[in-house]
Amino acid sequence: MTDLKTIRQRATELARRDWDLPAITARFKDMVDHGIPRQSMAPADLIREKEAFLDKVQHNAEQYCYLTRSCAKGSALALLEAFGLGNMEIIRALAPFPGMCMSGGLCGPVTGGLMAIGLYFADDDPADVANTAHYAAGRQYLQRFEAAFGSLLCPDIQKLLLGKAYDPFAGPDERDAFNRSGAREKCPVAPGLGARMAAEIIIEGMEKQNRPHA
C-alpha cells in the first residue's frame, strides 16, 4: 500500500516534471472533438498487463489534472478513457467537484473515481435496485483512498501535498499563495493515485466476473 512518504516523494517528482502540455492538450482535444474511444483491449489482455495498464492510468490522470487544473476531471477522464466508459459531458459536469467547489469537502479524485466505478459496476438500467456491486466497489475505493492519504477531504490532502490548506476563493492573496505553492504541479498526485486505485478495483471486478464489460 502507498504510504505518506511515497506520496510526498511523488509530489516532489511532479513538481520537477517537464509537462508536455501541447501533447496533453492534443490528446484531450481529440476526445472533446471525437468522444472517448471505446475500450478495444480484451479483459484477459488487460488483466495480464495489469501493472503497465495501471501505470498508464495514473500517468494520464496526472496529466489531465495538470491540463484542466481539476483533480476531479483528471481522475475521471483517465478512467473513462482507459475503460471506454461514459462521455465528455460527464467530465464537463465534474467542473464544480474539486473540494466540493473548493469549500473544504471531498477531494476531487474521490468523486472522479466513484463516478467511473459507478459507470462500470452499476446496471445498465438506472432503475435497477437489485445490483449492489457499485456500493461494494465504491466502499472499497473510499477505504483504499483514505488509507493511502489519511483523509478523503481536500484540505487534509492539500496539507499533505502543499504543506498547508488554501481557499483560492477567499481572496486574491489566498489565491496567489495557492498558485505559488506549486499546487498545479503537486496536486495531480491525488488524481493519479486515486485513478490507479479505482482502476485496480475495476480490474479486480473483471478478474472475479471473468467477463467483458462494454
Distance in angstroms (rounded) separating the CA atoms of residues 51 and 54: 5
Is the predicted pLDDT of residue 211 greater than 80, yes or no? no
Which pLDDT band, with edges at 50, 70 and 90, does 90 fall under? very high
State percent of the chain over pLDDT 90: 85
For the question of whether the overall pTM of this predicted structure is more than 0.95, the answer is no
Q: What is the pLDDT of residue 1?
A: 63
Which pLDDT band, with edges at 50, 70 and 90, does 214 fall under? very low
Give pLDDT tens digits for 126-182: 888 888 999 999 999 999 999 999 999 999 999 999 999 999 999 999 999 999 999
In the predicted model, what is the mean pLDDT of residues 43-65? 94
Which pLDDT band, with edges at 50, 70 and 90, does 210 fall under? low
